[in-house]
Structure 1
Amino acid sequence: MNSAAPLLTPTFRALAWCLHLLVIGLLALAVGRAVTSERPHAGWIIVASVLCGLTYAAGPVLPGVHRSRRAAALWLAAVGACWLVLLASTPDAVWVAFPLYFLQLHLLSHRAALAAVAVTAGAAIAGFAAHQHSFSPAMAIGPVLGAAVAVAVVWGYQALYRESEHRRRLIEELTATRADLAAAQHTAGVLAERDRLAREIHDTLAQGFSSIQLLLRAAERAFPQAPQNAARYVDQARQAAVDNLAEARRFIAALIPPTLEGTTLADALKRLCTTTSTRHRLIARFHLTGDPAPLPTAHEVALLRITQSALANSVRHAEATSIEVTLSYFGDHVALDIVDDGHGFDPTLLPAPDPEAGGFGLVAMRARTQSLSGALTIESAPGHGTALTVRLPLTSRADTEPETHP
């Protein structure tokens, strides 16, 4: 069928009922005129009208008519045959051709429908001329004009329906695409937040616990020979635990690091170096070059976390005796250089991150730097120490879209 889908629409149901009423009304008109006008063969007219009405009524009841063009064609042929019998009996049957046009145009393919409409219009003209015993061009105006109107109405309705269906599919595709995009953005946001939380935990809580562990081990070793040194290590471990607890609370509250509250980045880095020198057997020195300029919070947090992680790596892995931390302000970027005299390593042979052994530090540093459109370089070799450099632009997208940090 041409338009199986419109059968489900309220508009089409209303049009179908109008068509049914039109057919019934035209057949009733033919019967009424045959009875009141006492036309010849009135009985045949009544029988043909009833037969045509019953055949027509069978169409909406039979499900195959709406599912198969073959069944629809057979039903239309039966209705058309009954109509031809009626047309042979009375000229009033000419008007029934008009609803037949709509049925043919709806149920048949475009080519078959046009052919059926043309045949029906020709039969209507011929039947009416036969009853008038003459032919004139005026007799063809009604059936031809009715056929043209039917074709225009049905094809126009079908075109509107196709356009409506096309828009509906576009809306459904757009809705599905927006839903997929929202799901993808949500997933990306979750992954990004998970990565950010992993970096924050590594650079704060994990490093703090590592420092506490080292201090307690030192206290354990010093306790038999020098209890006073052990007590000092325990006190430093306690202070580290206090700092770690503050970090955890700030981390939960999603605020900036407490070491940056009420102070500058340079002061925070200097205090970090002093604390590291006090707690461990190394000397960490801080240097400031250039004119300090206000930095976005994301820049300050990233530089502080990277310094914390680098110092922890130097203490835990490099066994360095001295570390130089330099914060440099330039016109269009800020640079952080961290150099130690530890064992060094081969940057090309880094082990994969492991929850037990660690290895997340350099990955987190690089991720932080890249998130701010910066660059991180590492120069190291076994036995020659390590030099780490971070450069962050002062006009990156982080100025307008700062990363949320605890």
Structure 2
Amino acid sequence: MEEKELFILIISVTIILLLLGLFILILFVFYQKRLLINKTKLEKLQSETLKSQLEIQEHTLKNISQEIHDNVGQVLTLAKLNLATTVIEESASAEKIKTSQQLIGKAIQDLRDLSRSLNTDYVKEMGLIRAIEYELALLKKTGTIETGFAIDGSTVRLGKQKELILFRIVQEAIHNVIRHANASVLNTAILFSKDKMEIVIYDNGKGFDLGPLTDPDNSSFGLGLRNMQARAALIGAHFFLYSSPGAGTKLQLQLPLNNTTDETTAKN
């Protein structure tokens, strides 16, 4: 009788332990599922927030572009015309007036270039490749950095919104080189293959240590780079950055073409 009771006790304890283990497993699976749901909701919220920020930014840039074109540009044009109609007999003063006209003319052209670069509609109509070419041409015109640009493969239009986001990333990268890299050469390449498009930007500047970028306690470092990475993720692009002190910097963007809405294709 004692053996039978002991056997029943062992069976009962085993069943209880199995049920307890099953219960814990169910709780664990449920908890993991909730974590996944919350993570998905958070990622969706972050994505929607970033989209809203980009829309506000583009709207602001468009307004600034319009303001430059309609007001500042016109004021400078009137100032230039006013100088042109000023009669100066003294040769020294005439030379100063002429120099002032030239400087104002350059300012007008620079503002027009800036206005086009900021204007969302203009960038969308130009397309990604022409917009990048235009941006590099503006940089080369300053005479501070030698630029190179290359395209390989059959070009594909990605849809205006994706091209605009990619252009803003490239634009930010170029401005980072101007502000921080102390570079004399900046090269850009766009590569098209069957399944992806790749943008590579590299300079011969001073480079920097990437370590702080991976430090969660140093979120203020490389804020612009983090924003670029977030923008890339928004359209399904992969963002890679390579740099070290004294060795320049290389930025690489990869966008799977099967995630895009192709508009036109042309052979280069």
User: Smaller-chain TM-score range?
Assistant: 0.5 to 0.7
* Cross-structure match for 1:242: 112
Q: Structure 1 stretch 386-395 or stretch 285-294: which is displaced more?
A: 285-294
1:325 maps to which of 188, 208, 215: 188
What CA distance in whole angstroms lies between the structure 1 residues aligned with 2:137 and 2:205? 18
Contact in 2 for aligned 1:303/1:336 (Cα 8 Å):
no
Higher strand fraction: Structure 1 or Structure 2? 2
Q: CA deviation at 1:268?
A: 2.3
Distance change >3 Å, CA 234–CA 338, structure 1 → 2 = farther
Give 1:107-146 correspondences, 5 Å limit.
none
User: What is the TM-score normalised by the length of structure 1?
Assistant: 0.39
Amino acid at match of 2:242: E
**1:195 and 2:53 matched:** yes
Q: Alignment partner of 1:345: what SS?
A: coil
What CA distance in whole angstroms lies between the structure 1 residues aligned with 2:137 and 2:261? 30
Contact in 2 for aligned 1:324/1:339 (Cα 8 Å):
yes
2:248 maps to which of 385, 390, 402: 385
* Cross-structure match for 1:259: 123
Give 1:260-279 correspondences, 5 Å limit.
260-261=124-125, 263-279=126-142
Give 1:70-89 correspondences, 5 Å limit.
none
* Cross-structure match for 1:173: none
Q: CA deviation at 1:383?
A: 1.1
User: What is the TM-score normalised by the length of structure 2?
Assistant: 0.57
Give 1:172-183 correspondences, 5 Å limit.
none
Contact in 2 for aligned 1:204/1:305 (Cα 8 Å):
no
**1:376 and 2:239 matched:** yes
Give 1:40-189 correspondences, 5 Å limit.
none
**1:345 and 2:215 matched:** no
Contact in 2 for aligned 1:204/1:244 (Cα 8 Å):
no
Distance change >3 Å, CA 379–CA 365, structure 1 → 2 = same
Higher helix fraction: Structure 1 or Structure 2? 1
Q: Alignment partner of 2:258: what SS?
A: coil
What CA distance in whole angstroms lies between the structure 1 residues aligned with 2:243 and 2:236? 23
Amino acid at match of 1:259: V
The CA RMSD measured in Å over matched residues stands at 3.8
Q: CA deviation at 1:287?
A: 0.5
Structure 2 unmatched ranges of 5 or more:
1-41, 65-95, 263-268
Q: CA deviation at 1:377?
A: 0.5
Distance change >3 Å, CA 377–CA 236, structure 1 → 2 = farther
Q: Count residues in correspondence.
A: 185
Structure 1 unmatched ranges of 5 or more:
1-183, 207-226, 251-255, 401-406
Amino acid at match of 1:344: G
* Cross-structure match for 1:299: 162
- Return the structure number with greater relative CO, CA threshold 8 A, min gap 6: 2
Contact in 1 for aligned 2:182/2:206 (Cα 8 Å):
yes
Q: CA deviation at 1:326?
A: 0.2
What CA distance in whole angstroms lies between the structure 2 residues aligned with 1:201 and 1:388? 27
Contact in 2 for aligned 1:289/1:329 (Cα 8 Å):
yes
Distance change >3 Å, CA 385–CA 270, structure 1 → 2 = same
What CA distance in whole angstroms lies between the structure 1 residues aligned with 2:128 and 2:225? 21
Amino acid at match of 1:368: R
Contact in 2 for aligned 1:202/1:360 (Cα 8 Å):
no
Distance change >3 Å, CA 240–CA 387, structure 1 → 2 = same
Amino acid at match of 1:310: A
Q: CA deviation at 1:293?
A: 2.0
What CA distance in whole angstroms lies between the structure 2 residues aligned with 1:266 and 1:273? 11
Distance change >3 Å, CA 339–CA 292, structure 1 → 2 = same
Question: Percentage identity across aligned positions?
Answer: 24
Q: CA deviation at 1:392?
A: 0.5
What CA distance in whole angstroms lies between the structure 1 residues aligned with 2:188 and 2:101? 29
